[in-house]
């Protein structure tokens, strides 16, 4: 699998720990960095393909990636297309970074 996109990510100058947050506030911080990333889509597809369990990849939390995989499994049985890359946090995961 081609991973050359990794060198182009917005996270290249961020501490890796920022993308492995321990709470919802940390997830939101990471997602905001991912939101403008030019390689968001290949990043998400990589995490989905490799079944990466931890961290924020392609702007998607672990929980969101599990949901995407579940939906894809369901839609592949019905012959529908892929889910688009998420652009906004879901309501259930939205948290304020200001407290
Ligand atoms: S989408 Fe996020 S985790 Fe993926 S390369 Fe871009 S900044 Fe890094």
Q: Which atom of ligand 1 is nearest to the CA of 5?
A: 5
- 78 C-alpha to center of ligand 1: Å? 30
- 32 C-alpha to center of ligand 1: Å? 10
Give residue 93's pLDDT band: very low, low, confident or very high (50, 70, 90).
very low
Task: Check residues 89 and 46 and name the one with the higher pLDDT.
Answer: 46
Give per-residue pLDDT as tens, 13-47. 999 999 999 999 999 999 999 999 999 999 999 99
Give the closest residue (by CA) to ligand 1 atom 3: 57
Probe ligand 1: pick from 16, 26, 40, 60, max atoms within 8 Å of CB? 40
Q: Are 31 and 61 in contact (CB under 8 A)?
A: yes
């Amino acid at each position: 699998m081609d991973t050359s996109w990794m060198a182009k990510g917005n996270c290249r100058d961020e501490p890796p720990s920022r993308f492995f947050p321990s709470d919802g506030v940390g997830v939101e911080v990471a997602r905001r960095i991912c939101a403008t990333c030019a390689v968001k889509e290949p990043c998400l597809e990589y995490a989905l393909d490799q079944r990466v369990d931890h961290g924020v990849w392609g702007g998607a939390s672990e929980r969101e990636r599990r949901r995407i995989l579940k939906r894809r499994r369901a839609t592949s049985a019905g012959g529908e297309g892929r889910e688009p890359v998420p652009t906004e946090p879901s309501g259930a995961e939205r948290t304020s970074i200001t407290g």
